[in-house]
A and B are shown apart, each in its own frame.
Chain A
Amino acid sequence: EVQLVQSGGEVREPGESLKISCTASGYSFSNYWIAWLRQMPEKGLEWLGIIYPTDSDTRYSPSFQGQVTISADKSISTAYLQWSSLKASDTAIYYCARRSDGRSLDYWGQGTLVTVSS
């Protein structure tokens, strides 16, 4: 069974750094792109970027380039999303999702709530 399990919710103050994770199981992690998406409170879905674990080829949405960093460790089947300096506007639920062979996103993590507040 394919599963993506994300790390737990986080509370940080503005200016702090953060790294959240997405651990895959039930398939060959290296062979599928992993995407990260954001959902701000009561808002729609936004695509942040995507990584191919085999070679760490990473693409970012122009809206998020330079704002976040996506990485992966194929030895432990885990993808990461990180911030170097959080802002209150980063408060949101963040999802990871697997890009299917058909190019859509077929499996999703349960989401990680990131709260940034002083």
Chain B
Amino acid sequence: QSALTQPASVSGSPGQSITISCTGTSSDVGAYNYVSWYQQHPGKVPKLMIYDVSNRPSGVSNRFSGSKSGNTASLTISGLQAEDEADYYCSSYTSSGTYFFGTGTKLTVL
């Protein structure tokens, strides 16, 4: 395995909530609570949105939340705003001491 599996795209209307899934294995997502989520706008560098499954860095809106169940982690964005339109990537530390990123999800705000 070389990447975690995410849906290629998700969409939602302003004000709605969406959830992006991130599926790995018992050697990465399922092994530790070390899943993080990144937001990347076109032409920009990634921005850390969630770390250690559900922790928000300072300055990140509380509309962003994370969770995990077994080998699948999830990012939920509530109260969708136009500025949330971006690519989102999950990442997980692995039992080999390496990291995997997810395949990426393009969020469209309708």
Judge: A and B partners, yes or no.
no
Q: Which residues of B contact A (CB under 8 A)?
A: none
| Interface residue ranges, A against B (CB under 8 Å) | none
